[in-house]
Chains A and B, each alone.
Chain A
């Protein structure tokens, strides 16, 4: 899986690459507009992660170019600008997703996975994690072929955990993923906790191993060990 990250901020670039490399992605970077343009026209990628404001040009023009030249690959826009205009423009131009900075790496990872999944298998792919099988299209979960009924939020949680398996997920990023980035949701932690508790119980009741561990002081981790 090959990804091109076009981002001018060095530190952000490094963090994203580090996180995504652990997921087994091959990450290439472009530091500015011309470099990004050159790379995307020369090599093939599964997904482009494009910053909007860069030296040398606007990322939206790259999105436009990818679409007009029919270059294959999903597109995620990452931008510090959170104007509705840009968001709509970006999605209209054919970008698959739009993330506002600052975002959680786990969130970027989850979105990336969902895009790649959608593009490669037209979304008709099950996500399998040991005995757990998720069908994102229908929001269905099976444990050893037994159907587990999860609420929408619980399903989102499980998908988020599975997408970021083996990673320590801070409560804040879980809350933001579930709740969206509406501000001032101080009471969402208890809420998240309840959802996690319920999801966990339902999975275990269905005969699933308890993969979720609490990371003291931070949040949770979904792993096989």
Chain B
């Protein structure tokens, strides 16, 4: 839930509460005032009537008048004055009309008279009942107002905030590098933007120095590696070596080569990170796969692997030739390397114009499929591999924002790339 929506709800609940209480109180207050005024009027009128009665020689009862009844009552009546509400059916209007009545017993000499004075409540009622719609209208107005203001707030005032979030969402170290400070007219957002700038600057600097370190160390490693390798190459030419010496040198030689491969992989990774493969061309994936498979032909024949190529759709993507070659090479090379000893199979499928699936038979995964792209994760079966192949694949996919998925269903391993 958005911040503004959340605050709106609190505002609205509070307003609703105040309005309800206010409306109720207001209703009773108005009613009270009105009744008091009416009662006052009724009493005055009664006094007037009583005054008039004093001068009246012959008393005449008044009946069934709309506003006043005066009747003589028995002399043992008590004297009283009371005001109450009542309703009387009006034959004229065919409805019951509410009245406020003052009933008073008055004594004049030996005669007792009961005076009933009434006043219609219609006007008062209409006054009171008109209060509710007004209140409701006010409340509605308030809600609309709050919503509009909040909408404005979230659009205008919070705009820099949402913009910053958007920029953070798209943050990556290759293209964006630093989220620069942007002035808004809200102090808090300015502060936030400043902090984000500082933070991303620091991240970028750290990333860079780490990257530089990786790069330098792998480059610096190359010369000593070359020296060791070449010295060993010279050493094995010696006539004085025994078989067991050769075995030792052989394994040293082999380790140096692995180290060299590893180093090359790391250099490749850092070069991809440095965006050094920026030259793009339009690459036909199907064609590239076919050429690649030719270079793998002998290896595949050697391993007795059955290959099924279903390149029915043409996939053409703009990318760097070398990187895409490396990507496909590593995937196919893995598919061959980790295939079954017997009855191995590789299926290459173009699912659509931008989806490629390469699946191969192989032993079940020793680790979760999601972890396959981690660096230096190796399956135990092939101790000779360096463990960078798939992480290079992942890096290349990340660079071009290809969606790559690795799934393993029993003996079938599938890599699916959405270009």
Chain A residues packing against B (C-beta within 8 Å): 9, 11-12, 15-16, 18-19, 22, 80-84, 101-106, 151, 153, 167-168, 170-173, 176, 181-191, 194-195, 215-219
Contacts and interface: CB of A to CB of B under 8 A. Distances in A.
Given A15-B233, A101-B223, A186-B384, 16 more contacts: A11-B231, A80-B223, A83-B271, A102-B222, A102-B225, A106-B233, A168-B237, A170-B250, A181-B264, A183-B389, A187-B299, A187-B384, A188-B299, A215-B236, A217-B244, A217-B247
A105 B276 CA distance: 29
B249 interface: yes
Nearest to A107: B233
Nearest to B303: A187
B337 A187 contact: yes
B257 A12 contact: no
B267 interface: yes
Contact of A18 (B234, B276, B389): B234
A22 B336 CA distance: 40
Contact of B386 (A15, A170, A184): A184
B120 interface: no
Contacts of A188: 299
A11 to B, nearest CB: 4
Interface in B284-323: 298-299, 302-303, 322
Contacts of A182: 329, 333
Given A18-B234, A102-B226, A217-B249, A172 B257 contact: yes
Contacts of A172: 253-254, 257
A113 B230 CA distance: 18
Contacts of B243: 216-217
Contact of B298 (A102, A103, A153, A168): A153
Given A182-B329, A187-B337, A218-B250, A167 B299 contact: no
A15 B229 CA distance: 10
A105 B234 contact: yes
Given A83-B276, A84-B322, A172-B257, A12 B230 contact: yes
B226 A103 contact: yes
Nearest to A185: B333
A217 to B, nearest CB: 4
A152 to B, nearest CB: 9
A201 B169 CA distance: 63
Interface residues on B, range: 35 or more
A106 to B, nearest CB: 7
B130 interface: no
Contacts of A181: 264
Contacts of A219: 250
Given A190-B302, A215-B246, A105 B333 contact: no
Contacts of B3: none
- Nearest first, the 3 A-B pairs at minimum CB distance are A102-B226, A186-B384, A217-B247
A105 B264 contact: no
B151 interface: no
B405 to A, nearest CB: 21
Nearest to A193: B302
Nearest to A182: B329
A119 B276 CA distance: 34
Given A80-B222, A168-B237, A217-B249, A12 B254 contact: no
Contacts of B254: 170-172
Nearest to B268: A183
A191 B254 CA distance: 17
Interface string B273-289: 00011000000000000
A217 B246 contact: yes
Interface in B235-266: 236-237, 243-244, 246-251, 253-254, 257, 260-261, 264-265
A131 B49 CA distance: 155
5 contacts: A15-B230, A19-B234, A103-B226, A168-B237, A184-B261
Contacts of A176: 257
B345 to A, nearest CB: 16
B219 interface: yes
B254 to A, nearest CB: 6
A191 B249 CA distance: 22
Contacts of B248: 217
A92 B190 CA distance: 53
B63 to A, nearest CB: 118
A9 B234 CA distance: 17
A168 to B, nearest CB: 4
A99 to B, nearest CB: 10
B267 A15 contact: no
Contacts of A83: 271, 276
Nearest to A216: B243
B227 interface: yes
Contacts of A173: 233
A110 B195 CA distance: 59
A183 B388 contact: yes
A173 B229 CA distance: 10
A82 B302 CA distance: 31
Nearest to A105: B233
A77 B353 CA distance: 42
A191 B223 contact: no
B265 A183 contact: yes
A106 B236 CA distance: 12
A103 B229 CA distance: 8
A5 to B, nearest CB: 13
Contacts of A194: 302
A102 B277 CA distance: 22
A25 to B, nearest CB: 15
A43 to B, nearest CB: 25
Nearest to B277: A84
B382 interface: yes
Contact of B227 (A9, A183, A191): A9
A195 B232 CA distance: 25
Nearest to A15: B230
